Amino acid sequence: MIDAHIIKKYENFTLDSKLEDDGFILVTGENGSGKSTFLKCIAGAIKQDSGYVRINSRDITNLPIRKRGVVLITADSFLPNLKVQEHLRIGGEKVTEPVKNLLNNMSIPLSSKVGELSMGQREVVAILTAILAEPPLILIDEALANIENNQAFLSRVWELRQRGKYTDTIIVSHQEFDLPQIRKYQMSGGRLIKIF
C-alpha cells in the first residue's frame, strides 16, 4: 500500500498530490504536469517541501534513497558494460526461469552486453532487474516507450510481480495501457486525479 502526500513548490509551479492505493498504478498527464517529480519525491531523489511517504504503513519520508525500499527506473537506468545476466544478478542472485523465458521470447540473450542492446531491450533489462530485487515499490518513469509490444510486456511484469512478495508498482507514461489490473490516475497542474 502506497500512502503519499507530496508537496513540492517551484517558482511557477506547485505539486500537491495525494495517493493512497496499491497494486498496479498508471499515471498519465501532459509534459510538465508533475508526474516525474511526484515519483522522484517518493523515491527520495528530490526532497519534497512537505507531506509524507508511507509504504506498507512504514514512514520513509525522511529516509535516504537506499533505505526506502523503492526502486526508480528511468529510460537510462542500466549499466552498459555488464552482460544481461550480470545486470539481472544485481537484482537477485538467481535469475528465475520466468525471467529467462521472457528474455528469450523478446530475443534478449543473457550473454549480450546491455550497452549493445536496443533502447527498448535495455529498458526491459532494467525493469526485470528491479523485479528480481523484490522491492516493496517499483517506480517506472517513462521507461516503457521504446519497448516493442509494451502492453504485452507490462502484462508479464504484473505476472512476475504477482509471483513475488510485493506487487505495488507505479508507472508514469504518456501512453494509455488497457489492462484490467491497472488503476488509472491523471496528473494535471500538479494534482493527481483518480480516473478508475
Dump pLDDT digits (tens) for 1-58.
999 999 999 989 999 999 999 999 999 999 999 999 999 999 999 999 999 999 999 9
* Bridge partner list, 152: none
Which residues are registered as beta bridge partners of 172?
Answer: 27, 141
Q: Determine contact, residues 8/49, Cβ cutoff 8 Å.
A: yes
- The CA-CA-CA angle for residues 94, 95, 96, to 5°, reads 100
pLDDT over 90 (residue 91): yes
Parallel/antiparallel/unpaired status of strands 50-55 and 24-29: unpaired
**pLDDT class of 93 with cuts at 50, 70, 90:** confident
Domains (range + CATH), the chain? 2-194 (3.40.50.300)
pLDDT computed for residue 184 by the predictor:
97
137-195 pLDDT, tens digit each? 999 999 999 999 999 999 999 999 999 889 999 999 999 998 999 999 999 999 999 99
Residue 33: per-residue pLDDT? 95
Instruction: Write the pLDDT tens digit of every residue in 106-128.
Output: 999 999 999 999 999 999 999 99
For 7, the 3-state DSSP assignment is strand
**pTM of the predicted structure, to 2 decimals:** 0.95
196 pLDDT higher than 90: no
How high is the pLDDT of residue 158? 94
